[in-house]
Amino acid sequence: MALKVHICAVGRLRSGPERDLLDDYLTRFDRTGRALGLGPVVVHEVEDRKGGGMGAEAGLLEGVIPKGAVICALDERGKLMSSPDFANMLGGWRDDGRGDLAFVIGGADGIDPTLRARADAKLSFGKMVWPHMLARVMLSEQLYRAASILAGAPYHRV
């Protein structure tokens, strides 16, 4: 059974360099991950047009997270991980027979505390705060890197 990956994010990523990078890494991940039982990746973008803040964004995000999915929140207070540890975490969820994995990326104010508390894992890309559009690109690169590590491909060098 493949582990289908969902990127559930606040905001729409318009065309430009970030979109090009995201698409490139997700294509690479899908190509590498398929044989490993990882992917495909589906990107779900939500927008709070009424300006309801984190609470409203959380409601919209909840609407696109598949039922029963493992939830991994991208959060500055989350766990710092090496790329091999991240790869092992993905492989572990796949090996446990989990069908869906949802990475949640909040808006400018982050992720609502109630949704963050529901997360099975919280991941940080460092102590610095990153724009949520760049966080998508960084996540997509790490997904591709994780698939490469699990496949024993030379992309990741120690």
Mean pLDDT of 16-34: 96
Q: Is the pLDDT confidence value at 93 over 90?
A: yes
CATH fold of 3-151: Alpha/beta knot (3.40.1280)
Contact 57, 114 (CB under 8 A): no
Domain ranges of the chain: 3-151
Report if pTM > 0.75. yes
**Predicted local confidence at residue 155, as pLDDT:** 86
Phi-psi region of 152 (alpha: psi -120 to 50; beta: other; left: phi over 0): left
Mean pLDDT of 130-155: 94
Q: Which residues of 68-92 are buried (b: 16+ CB within 10 A; e: fewer)?
A: ebbbbbbbeebeebeeeebbbbbbe
Q: Which of 122, 123, 152, 120 is nearest to 138 (CA)?
A: 123
Which of the 8 DSSP states describes residue 125? S
Tokens of 1: 């059974």
